[in-house]
Structure 1
């Protein structure tokens, strides 16, 4: 900055000096060009009426002029006007051929005493003579010299000011960058929750701080996700190992029993074989569930086709009613009027999705409702269409949990609700109900299955582009709701099944 500023000042001063010198020299040239009595003086000198050097100041010449004459032979006369006063004058050659002047065009000559230069102009005289008029450039040189010293002083002052003031400005301007550096060092020393100051948002340092904060935020989010994923993986492996340990232990124990007691009675041998088969089936179901979860997490549903959710719900209700004949399972319509669901007439609800995965979701929800509610609890399945509203179905709100992201307000959806009038879940159980291997309620832990059903259902819902959510409060029962974004289908209308209730 100092070099650039000083160079700019010196360049401007040099241009000013050149302009000043040229302008003053032009003023001198103008005075030389306007000097008219030259021809008359030449005639007086040639006719002998005025000898060179005579007349002193009475010959009408200004005191700073010098006039010299060359005769017709090209020789400079020994005496010239004003030359008798002595002092310096232009250093003119003796011969006109060496003069090198064109008539009416000024030129600069050195002084006889080595001082200031002279400005000289030549005019033609009578009878082949030439008259040379000279003016000193002393005032021009003095003015230029003073301006030069002034420019040098200004240049030195400007350079010093730029060094001092520029250094101060740069230090003040880079002070936020020093703060960014200190914060970055602290972050590198494991203080990972710090933020880079970005108060100066209009400067490059402010933009740098904001960019670093954005990068740090994304890095922290990625690290937290990696830590959470690693923690979930550890819990998952621990839970999977725990779940597999029990049937493996049973298998090993009964197998050793059959080997160590070959004389075992037929009845006991048959009982041991049945227990081995049941534990093997349990292990097989658990491994299949884990494999299905892994596939749902890696690859979304690709076999999308038009699906009638009402028929799908009716088939699921019929299948579960056979397994749990003591349960009352109702099938109805779900309508959305001004955001308030109400019972309505059954109608076909067409959606796009994987029929196998959607059937599994409904089957898991119905099985979960029959297994985890007291005897005599009524289960209701409702099918219809809704529109997502702020703080309504499909969004995160109080008393509502989901493992899937919320849907945008205004989105039309196809919905299937599985509700019961049981005891409901506490807030802590509801928050964890979609986690793998989680079972709500220690009293029912032994008969609650593997704890993977709802996790599989949530993953399948997300694979189909939808959302599975739970509305529950203690004493108010549970309402599981499957929401699928409505997509136009080319399916032809079908009649609704006449199925209303399944019970023994």
Structure 2
């Protein structure tokens, strides 16, 4: 039985809605018809009761009963009894008399007991009793007559039963018609109402099959389907963004592993080749042996530096700088320039101040520019920037280092803008920062190269990659260190106008240098 009921249970939402609406509408109609039917039956019965209550036998009728004359005698002719009434008599002892009055002379009548005690009628209160022929019921009322006799007056409920029966069949017909109409028009209305949801379902099925670029149609802004469509589109946008980020991250990881393997393979191959040469030719000359040993040491040093750079990148990505303290950027830059000048004696490197064009104070009079951060990491950032400017620009290119403070303004340094590239998040406009700019007047960089300078292992010049001039990790390390110190490293470059690398750090006034630093509150 349960299995059969499960098969009959509608599975689609449309069928369930139509079935539910049909049951509710039909039940409501039948309930209203039942209430009307009960009201009609009660009203018609009250009409019969009123007729019974108003009927009063003539006094002569009681005298005829007392004299023992039958209803067909003189009393029947003088009583004026209406055609549908029945009148029955009980004597003083409570026994029903054989004589009775019938207006229409029919044989059918109410089924009354022989004894008044079994009658159970109270004076003036109508009651319903069955008919002698099993047909329609009768409504009876009892009254007290003269000399202790009892008179029972009855009226048939045939008309009431017929009217009620006709009303019942009419109600059933109305219920069936309403159910059929609700099924027909309800199916059409539900189909039209669920059409947007069907569109959402089809689009969702296509998205589930792999068409991730689709969006759910949103043409019903004020309906629940419209809200569902917007929610699904928002979810799909976030899902697509997450998938693109995951794909880009996996692609970067593949490139990183491939580049790292390539960079490590070159010195490792050289190490293996020269080591095998020393083993296979033990009788080689001392000069060749020393040359091979020097190349082994040089490639081992290169591989060691490369591994150290990779390890440093990993550490920068895991934990931020822990040695936060006030740092004098002017002194740090001066030391960095002196160290680079020793390695590149032919380079012209100048040191100046960075003016804020909207600040009324004379920046040239500043002798201390203090930021907060890890001094060793900040020194490494400056060293990488200066070395990068010396290595990747032609001889004779002038390098200018500027130090100062300014307030970040919308679309200015520290924010995103045309010609400005960074691997770090933009700063909040209105933030006061310390800045170090390393600028050159070289040939600059094309936009396609400028967008990728902070990528790991990226080198703009393919000839430099072939000559192994560097590992391509210096700017990536500098960007990671800047982020670890709560700052930002950015590049402004245009072809033919040189390059400007700008390091922005949390600002620390000189008067507050002795106080405990709060590095993350300024930026």
Q: TM-score, normalised by structure 1?
A: 0.86
Indicate the residue corresponding to 1:76 in structure 2.
96
Contiguous gaps of at least 5 residues in structure 2: 1-19, 516-523
Q: Is the counterpart of residue 66 in structure 1 residue 73 in structure 2?
A: no
* Native 8 Å contact 2:85 2:154 kept in 1: yes
Q: Is the counterpart of residue 492 in structure 1 residue 507 in structure 2?
A: no
| Superposition deviation, residue 107 in structure 1 | 1.2
Q: Is the counterpart of residue 319 in structure 1 residue 319 in structure 2?
A: no
What SS does the corresponding residue of 1:440 show, helix, strand or coil? coil
Mapping of 1:395-434 within 5 angstroms? 395-434=415-454
Bigger shift: 353-362 or 481-490?
A: 481-490
Indicate the residue corresponding to 1:248 in structure 2.
268
Bigger shift: 20-29 or 78-87?
A: 78-87
Mapping of 1:174-253 within 5 angstroms? 174-253=194-273
Pair 195,488 (structure 1): closer, same or farther in 2 beyond 3 Å? farther
Contiguous gaps of at least 5 residues in structure 1: 495-504
Pair 451,109 (structure 1): closer, same or farther in 2 beyond 3 Å? same
* Native 8 Å contact 1:333 1:345 kept in 2: no
User: What is the rounded CA distance, in whole Å, between the counterparts of 1:332 and 1:242 in structure 2?
Assistant: 40
Q: Is the counterpart of residue 376 in structure 1 residue 396 in structure 2?
A: yes
* Native 8 Å contact 1:372 1:448 kept in 2: no
Q: Is the counterpart of residue 104 in structure 1 residue 124 in structure 2?
A: yes
* Native 8 Å contact 1:65 1:133 kept in 2: yes
| Superposition deviation, residue 211 in structure 1 | 3.9
Cα displacement string for residues 146-202 of structure 1 (whole angstroms, at most 9, x for unaligned residues):
221121111101111122222223333333344344334433443332233343454
| Superposition deviation, residue 99 in structure 1 | 0.9
Q: Among residues 447, 454, 458, which one is paired with 2:475 in the alignment?
A: 454
Indicate the residue corresponding to 1:150 in structure 2.
170
Pair 454,11 (structure 1): closer, same or farther in 2 beyond 3 Å? same
User: What is the rounded CA distance, in whole Å, between the counterparts of 1:214 and 1:379 in structure 2?
Assistant: 49
Bigger shift: 424-433 or 344-353?
A: 344-353
What SS does the corresponding residue of 1:230 show, helix, strand or coil? helix
Indicate the residue corresponding to 2:12 in structure 1.
none
User: What is the rounded CA distance, in whole Å, between the counterparts of 2:148 and 2:508 in structure 1?
Assistant: 113
Indicate the residue corresponding to 2:488 in structure 1.
467
Bigger shift: 331-340 or 279-288?
A: 331-340
Mapping of 1:7-406 within 5 angstroms? 7-35=27-55, 37=56, 40=59, 43-45=62-64, 48=67, 52=71, 54=74, 59=79, 61-83=81-103, 85-86=105-106, 88-338=108-358, 344-346=364-366, 348-406=368-426
Pair 98,430 (structure 1): closer, same or farther in 2 beyond 3 Å? same
Q: Is the counterpart of residue 481 in structure 1 residue 502 in structure 2?
A: yes
What SS does the corresponding residue of 2:123 show, helix, strand or coil? coil
User: What is the rounded CA distance, in whole Å, between the counterparts of 2:97 and 2:508 in structure 1?
Assistant: 116
* Native 8 Å contact 1:42 1:69 kept in 2: no
User: What is the rounded CA distance, in whole Å, between the counterparts of 1:136 and 1:389 in structure 2?
Assistant: 102
Pair 372,107 (structure 1): closer, same or farther in 2 beyond 3 Å? same
| Superposition deviation, residue 310 in structure 1 | 4.2
Bigger shift: 479-488 or 358-367?
A: 479-488
Cα displacement string for residues 435-456 of structure 1 (whole angstroms, at most 9, x for unaligned residues):
1111123455436411111111
What SS does the corresponding residue of 2:454 show, helix, strand or coil? coil
Bigger shift: 177-186 or 355-364?
A: 177-186
* Native 8 Å contact 2:464 2:470 kept in 1: no
| Superposition deviation, residue 341 in structure 1 | 12
| Superposition deviation, residue 410 in structure 1 | 4.0
User: What is the rounded CA distance, in whole Å, between the counterparts of 1:148 and 1:330 in structure 2?
Assistant: 108
Q: Report how many aligned residue pairs link the two structures.
A: 493
| Superposition deviation, residue 257 in structure 1 | 3.5
What SS does the corresponding residue of 2:256 show, helix, strand or coil? helix
User: What is the rounded CA distance, in whole Å, between the counterparts of 1:422 and 1:480 in structure 2?
Assistant: 13
| Superposition deviation, residue 282 in structure 1 | 0.8
User: What is the rounded CA distance, in whole Å, between the counterparts of 1:55 and 1:234 in structure 2?
Assistant: 123
Indicate the residue corresponding to 2:7 in structure 1.
none
Pair 313,278 (structure 1): closer, same or farther in 2 beyond 3 Å? same
What SS does the corresponding residue of 2:386 show, helix, strand or coil? helix
Pair 108,283 (structure 1): closer, same or farther in 2 beyond 3 Å? same
Q: TM-score, normalised by structure 2?
A: 0.83
| Superposition deviation, residue 474 in structure 1 | 1.1
Pair 97,208 (structure 1): closer, same or farther in 2 beyond 3 Å? same
What SS does the corresponding residue of 1:432 show, helix, strand or coil? coil
User: What is the rounded CA distance, in whole Å, between the counterparts of 2:176 and 2:362 in structure 1?
Assistant: 89
Indicate the residue corresponding to 1:497 in structure 2.
none
| Superposition deviation, residue 361 in structure 1 | 1.8
Bigger shift: 133-142 or 432-441?
A: 133-142
Pair 251,56 (structure 1): closer, same or farther in 2 beyond 3 Å? same
| Superposition deviation, residue 61 in structure 1 | 4.8
* Native 8 Å contact 1:57 1:63 kept in 2: no
| Superposition deviation, residue 468 in structure 1 | 1.8
What SS does the corresponding residue of 1:365 show, helix, strand or coil? helix
